[in-house]
Every structure is written in structure tokens, then in C-alpha cells.
Amino acid sequence: QVVGGKVKKPGKRGRKPAKIDLKAKLERSRQSARECRARKKLRYQYLEELVSSRERAICALREELEMYKQWCMAMDQGKIPSEIKALLTGEEQGKAQQNSTKLAKTGKTEANSSNP
């Protein structure tokens, strides 16, 4: 046959339907369903773990918020909580250590630069 200047072959286009064994097809379908259920189960386990970890983080943040509220109420009453005192003295000690380290480093570099 000639259609539009092209030769057309008789028959259907595309893949020819192969005679697939019905039992094999059903087994592949079952296997695919098993794999799908396994993936779904893993996805739900992952999501449940994610939710529980986020819930633990929320609880920890709520406890921290409550602690800060108590600190603020104590400071409003003119009391400085011991934790804040420890933080402040720790920061002062840390700054002093940083300054002494910087001085020691600058002293070494000055000594090295003066000796050619």
C-alpha cells in the first residue's frame, strides 16, 4: 500500500503481544505488591521515627523555655540564679584565656619578626 508517498506495511504497529504465561504474570504482580508493601512499611517506620524525634526535641525546648521563664521571674525579684552567675563567670574566664592566648601569640610573632 502507498499512502502519502510512503509505503505502508500491513499489520499493527508497535510491539506484538507476546504470549505471556498467565502464572508468571500473576507471580510478578504478587512480587511487585510485596515490594510495594515493604517500601510502604519502611516509609511509615521512617516517618514515625522522625515524628518521635521531633516530639522529643519539642519537649526539650519546652523544658528549656520553662527554665528561662523561671530565671526571668527570679531576676525580676532581684535574685540572680546561680546558673547565670556560673555562665557569667565562665564567660569572663573564657575571655581572659582568649586574651592571654592572643597576647602570647602576638608576642611570639613579634619575636620572630624582629629576628631576621
Task: Note the pLDDT tens digit of each residue in 87-105.
Answer: 888 876 666 666 666 666 6
Grid cell in block for residue 55: 516530639
Q: Is residue 8 part of a domain?
A: no
- Under the phi-then-psi rule, with left for phi > 0, alpha for psi from -120 to 50, and beta for the rest, what region is 4? left
Q: Which domain range does residue 81 map to? A: 22-87
- Tell me what pLDDT residue 9 has: 60
Residue 116: predicted pLDDT: 45
**Would you say 53 and 61 are in contact if contact means Cβ atoms under 8 Å apart?**
no
Question: Do residues 71 and 79 make contact, with C-beta atoms less than 8 angstroms apart?
Answer: no
Phi, psi for residue 3 in degrees, rounded to 5: -130, 120
Residue 15 lies in a domain: no
Please give the pLDDT value at position 3. 56
Calculate the alpha carbon distances from 65 to 70, 71, 73, 107 in Å. 9, 10, 12, 44
| Residues of the chain below pLDDT 50 | 116
Q: Do the beta carbons of residue 71 and residue 83 sit within 8 Å?
A: yes
Residues paired with 6 in a beta bridge: 3
Count of domains observed in the chain: 1
- Give domain status of residue 112, yes or no: no
Assess if residue 92 is contained within a domain: no
